[in-house]
Amino acid sequence: MTAVRLLGAADIRRLAAELDVTPTKKLGQNFVVDANTVRKIVQAAKVQDGERVVEIGPGLGSLTLAILERGARVTAVEIDSRLASRLAQTAAEQGVADGQLTVVEHDAMTVAELPGDPAVLVANLPYNVSVPVLLHFMQTFPTLSRGVVMVQAEVGERLAAAPGSKIYGSPSAKAAWYGSWRLAGTVSRRVFWPVPNVDSVLVGFERADEPLGTVEERTATFRLIDLAFQQRRKMLRQALSRDLGGSAASASEILAAADVDPTSRGEQLTVHDFLRIARVLAR
């Protein structure tokens, strides 16, 4: 552990005033002002000394410093140039060793390369893009083997939902492509500045040892997932008919060949079921 001083509410406000930053909804800027909360996130992620961690949206550095305190090396991807350009100085002022932090000023939705092949993702995600940014990182950085992210409670519950539950949906099935997801704690809205309208949860993931299929199979599977959940109340033979031969009858045949009940609905299918349908289609 390095002797790093974490930020409190007064530090956050001082830094924001210095940078003339008024948090914006558009960028999902709700900064954590509580040292216990950022330590809880880092503990849930089991960040170890020397590990390579990537953080999405470091903001003013609350969570970044807690990751650095564990002795990890951090790459932080921030879209807001005012925040990105202040972060290295904040780290140095708070006792972080030279070379422990790399700041990348970029949109995390489109970043294609990261220095040092990070193994762990830790983030308080911008809420408006939390699912797409997470899927982009899982897809683009296969070295990421585990992580913990903070998201809106409703989104976190969806990510971790199992088939058959009401909240199981497209994000749940797509996330499951990459590995297993679990709820890892709740976070009160009161630890943020400004205070958001909703509570948050921590979601942990472990990437599966082997990819479920090829990139082409993933694209085809995700398309079927989207179609099935766009019309989630319809039976699959109807919801997927356009892509599966053009009629409910041809869709039923393909679904049966994939060992999926044509009268079931998307919310009952695992990602493996969707993949089997994609494989039958590709024959």
Stretch that binds ligand SAM, among 75-83, 158-166, 228-236, 262-270 (CB under 6 A): 75-83
**Spacing of C-alpha 172 from chain mean position:** 11
Ranges within 92-151 binding ligand SAM (CB under 6 A): 107-109, 124, 126, 129
Q: Which is nearer to ligand SAM, 132 or 246 (CB)?
A: 132
Q: Which of 6, 16, 21, 62 binds ligand SAM (CB under 6 A)?
A: 62
- At residue 67, the 3 state secondary structure works out as helix
Cβ atoms 109, 132 nearer than 8 A: yes
Residue of 34, 78, 267, 273 that binds ligand SAM (CB under 6 A): 78
Residues in binding contact with ligand SAM, number by CB under 6 A: 23
**How far, in Å, CA of 23 to CA of 29, rounded?**
5
Spacing of C-alpha 179 from chain mean position: 12
Q: At its nearest, how many Å lie between ligand SAM and the CB of residue 281?
A: 33
Minimum CB–partner distance for residue 162 and ligand SAM (Å):
27
Nearest to 147 by CA among 252, 39, 273, 42: 42
| Residues whose CB is less than 8 angstroms from the CB of residue 113 and which lie 6 or more positions away in sequence, other chains included | none
251 touches 245 (CB < 8 A):
yes
Least Å distance between CB 89 and ligand SAM?
16
Binding mask 8-37 for ligand SAM (x = CB under 6 A): -------------------xxxxxx-----
Tokens of 36: 């216990």
Which residue, 122 or 260, is less far from ligand SAM as judged by CB?
122
The end-to-end CA distance of the chain, in Å, is 54
- Measured CA to CA, the distance from residue 243 to residue 252 in angstroms comes to 12
Q: Is 176 in the site for ligand SAM (CB under 6 A)?
A: no
Told to check if 63 binds ligand SAM by CB under 6 A, we report: yes
* 198 within 8 A of 152, measured Cβ to Cβ: yes
Residue 123 or 176 with smaller CB distance to ligand SAM: 123
> Can you give the binding site for ligand SAM, defined by CB under 6 A?
27-32, 56-59, 62-63, 77-80, 83, 107-109, 124, 126, 129
